[in-house]
Amino acid sequence: MKPIRIGTRKSPLALWQAHLVEKKLNEFQIPTEIVPISSEGDLNLKQPIYQLGITGVFTRSLDIALLNHQIDIAVHSLKDVPTLLPEGIKLSGFMKRGNPHDILVYKSDDIFQKEKRTIATGSLRRTSFWLQKYPQDSVVDLRGNVQLRIQKLVESNWDGAIFAYAGLDRSEILNELVAKNLKFKILDWMIPAPSQGIVGITSRSGFEMPEISDENSKISANIERQFLNVLEGGCTAPIGAYAEIQDEKIIFKGAILSLDGQKTISVDEVFPTSNFENKGKELAEKCLEKGAKELIQQIKKQIQN
């Protein structure tokens, strides 16, 4: 049997994710080979992601490698994968979800007593949610892999920076924060990015992917990505969506915010797992009825300026 060639970005977190998929495939006695590939999102760390003008800035290089038959599958943080995939590429795997929440890493407990803070993040969604709660604060751009972003925080005069909990946990950085005199707090009031915490697998359309998916992750990702797709999100709008599965029901929270966080259109709903197929679309349409389309147009104009 020929080994399945697993394409991945070169960052430590991306390699961790690739090894997770490799381990799962190896459990089924399927041979594998990991193929690291540089991505445009990793090479350009100077511009905010939304200014790069590329949909799928972290996935395009791996898409090209798939279509050129350099690799058989590609492993991603699913939140980085566009909801519209290139022709000839499909989503073919969903690993068990890690903690989906965002996390604030900060230097001193007095951060919560300050009248004004400086917080770092490269995410429009995190920026908008933070400014919704703390409108007086300043938010600065932060790019790079998680290790580099932590180092930038340590060396800066910023009060804190926002990360995905799963990214820090999987990179084994959470345990190292104390040694760097850093603390952390889970931001459970911030709606996660669609599919945050899920490792996703893409492949060429004709490739037969072994069935290694986690069913709950697959259902949650389907709803959240559908919600994002209808709202035309991607990296260019502050959109959060989280479908939490508890027993036979799904608890959904979704929102789109203005860039300054002062306008929010949200939807909250509980429904049975048996009724998930078109639920993301239906929930997004409720946001559109509340004025999300006009808000998205406003956001696009502000970004272009």
The answer to whether 244 and 191 are in contact (CB under 8 A) is no
Instruction: Kindly report the length of the chain.
Output: 305
Asked if 268 is an active-site residue, the reply is no
In the set 80, 102, 137, 159, the catalytic residue is: 80
Catalytic residues, by residue number, are 80
